[in-house]
Structure 1
Amino acid sequence: MSESKKKSKLNGSNIFLIIFFVLITIVAVLAWLNPDVGDALSIANWFGSDTSSVSIWAAIGFTMLACFLGALIPIPVPYMISVSTFSYAWLNPRIPNAVLFIIVLTLAAAIANTIGDMLDYVIGLGSEKILERDDPELQGRWARLIMKYPKAIPWIVTIFAITPLPDSLLLVPLGFIKYSAKKSIFYMFIGKIIMMGIMAIAGIYGIEWLLELAGESSWVLGVIFLYVMWLMIFLMVKINPEKKKKKKD
């Protein structure tokens, strides 16, 4: 691949990062100037009391749909917030069999998210051309790293699953190099159970504290969350261990 093509693809990533950053900044300014926009970003509205009136199975179904669709989007999105929200709502006030329902919610969210992630694996398994839906240079970088450290793949998949990072950056290359589908599903599912469990516990013990901390300016935490998402994408796109290794060599 020529240097000009590489630069153009990297420039595409840069353009996305710049646009995303500018949009977040514009939203932050609008939230500061306009109370209505601020209310939309307020975390108090994310965890509103209305969630307690939602039926158990509707909540589980909504969470599964959000987690499934969230897995298909190649950028970090807060699809797992519903796990925290309903876990908190079912214990404040406590409903009958709340702990059992929270366990079912956690497992259902992990299953739905894993199914969505495995579509990325199938994409990588099916055709190299489909990799063009994401940044091909970025996908190739991860594929080369995976092939260099095959013994670390289970740990990498599990850690990726625990984080809100876009799993497509890892699973598409895994499918492309035809890494075991059963192993990919297993380690991804283990990581998703851990992540959803953490989100449920965070909702149970952390939401009330978060609301008290935010106070009247809870929209600020919403904006901070958006900037954190941008930072995660930036690190995934920009960090290239291969370049560092070449410099050392």
Structure 2
Amino acid sequence: MSWEWLSTLATQWGFFGVFLTSFLGALSIIVPIPYTVIIFTLGMKGWNPLLLAVSGGLGSAFGELSGYALGYYGGKIISEERRRKMEFFVKMFGRYGPVLVFIFALTPLPDDLLFIPLGLLRYKLLNMFIPCLLGKALMCYILAAFGNITKDFLLPLIGEENMMTTTVITAILLTIIFVILLKVDWEKLFEKYVANKVSGG
């Protein structure tokens, strides 16, 4: 499936187009829309990384509310007994739940696997949305800044008009970035900086 129309939308509508593209990308639960590729590409074309982070972060954060809403309103069909059995999920979050939301938003971890249960269990919306916004904005900034840094040697090789080549190279670079992020042992970091504080260590 060609997503070139999304790139056209972002290019013609500017940062509002980036907002819409990111919103649609995060809104889609079943069919993935590669808005991150577009943000990286625009960064590579010299767009301001900070403005891309703001517009892309806002759009994707609002789009992620679809998963929360699906759980929130779809939870009406879940029995009370099953709901009680799932309450441990929210209890596990406790005070540091926003940290996990931030990590899911920043990394390639599947957001909806987290946001749908949070909606189902009526987790506080602001406690979910604010760290999600911060995580998505930081992710967009990293992508845009990395694209901005690499534009000097990538664009001369591929040309601005060769969208297919750009997409392929971008996908490879994103994969490298995401693999690096996935190599981080988030569980150990959580235990080191959070669990130790709770236990007084």
Once structures 1 and 2 are overlaid, which stretch shifts more, 199-208 or 181-190?
199-208
Letter in 2 for 1:103: L
Counterpart selection for 1:64 from 1, 16, 19: 19
Instruction: Give runs of aligned pairs for residues 27-106 of structure 1, distance below 5 A.
Output: 58-74=13-29, 77-90=33-46, 99=48, 102-106=49-53
In the other structure, the counterpart of 1:190 is: 134
Aligned to 1:22: none
State the Cα distance separating 1:227 from its structure 2 match: 8.3
Q: Which has the larger radius of gyration?
A: 1
One-letter identity of the residue aligned with 2:116 = V
Which amino acid counterpart does residue 72 of structure 2 have in structure 1? L
Distance 1:88 1:168, change over 3 A: same
Query: Cα gap change, 1:176/1:183 in structure 2, threshold over 3 Å: closer, same or farther?
Result: same
Tell me the TM-score normalised to structure 2 length: 0.62
CA distance in 2, matches of 1:173, 1:56: 35
Give secondary structure in 2 for the equivalent of 1:127: helix
Q: Write the distance in 1 (CA, Å) between the matches of 2:11 and 2:171.
A: 30
Question: Structure 2: which 5+ runs fail to align?
Answer: 79-84, 159-164, 180-201
Shift of the 143–221 alpha-carbon distance from structure 1 to 2, 3 Å rule, reads farther
- The equivalent position to 1:122 in structure 2, one of 59, 69, 84, is 69
Q: CA deviation at 1:127?
A: 2.1
Change (3 A) 1:164 1:227: closer
RMSD across aligned C-alpha pairs, in angstroms?
4.2
Q: Say whether 1:203 aligns with 2:150.
A: no
The residue identity in structure 2 corresponding to 1:65 is L
Q: Name the CA shift for 1:77/1:143 in 2 (closer, same or farther; >3 Å).
A: farther
Q: Gaps spanning 5+ residues in structure 1: where?
A: 1-39, 41-45, 91-97, 132-140, 232-249
Q: Letter of the 1:206 partner, please give it.
A: T
- Structure 1 pair 153–167 and aligned structure 2 pair: CA distance change class (3 A): same
- How far residue 128 of structure 1 moved from its aligned partner, in angstroms, is 2.3
| 1:119 counterpart SS class | helix
Mean Cα deviation higher: 158-167 or 141-150 = 141-150
The question of whether the paired residues in 2 share the 8 Å contact of 1:71 and 1:117 is answered with yes
- The percentage of counterpart residues that share the same residue type is 28
Q: From the superposition, tell whether residues 223 and 121 of structure 1 become closer, same or farther in structure 2 (CA, over 3 Å).
A: closer
- Separation of aligned partners in 1, 2:92 and 2:134: 23
TM-score, normalization by structure 1: 0.51
Separation in structure 2 between the aligned mates of residue 227 and residue 143 of structure 1, nearest angstrom: 35
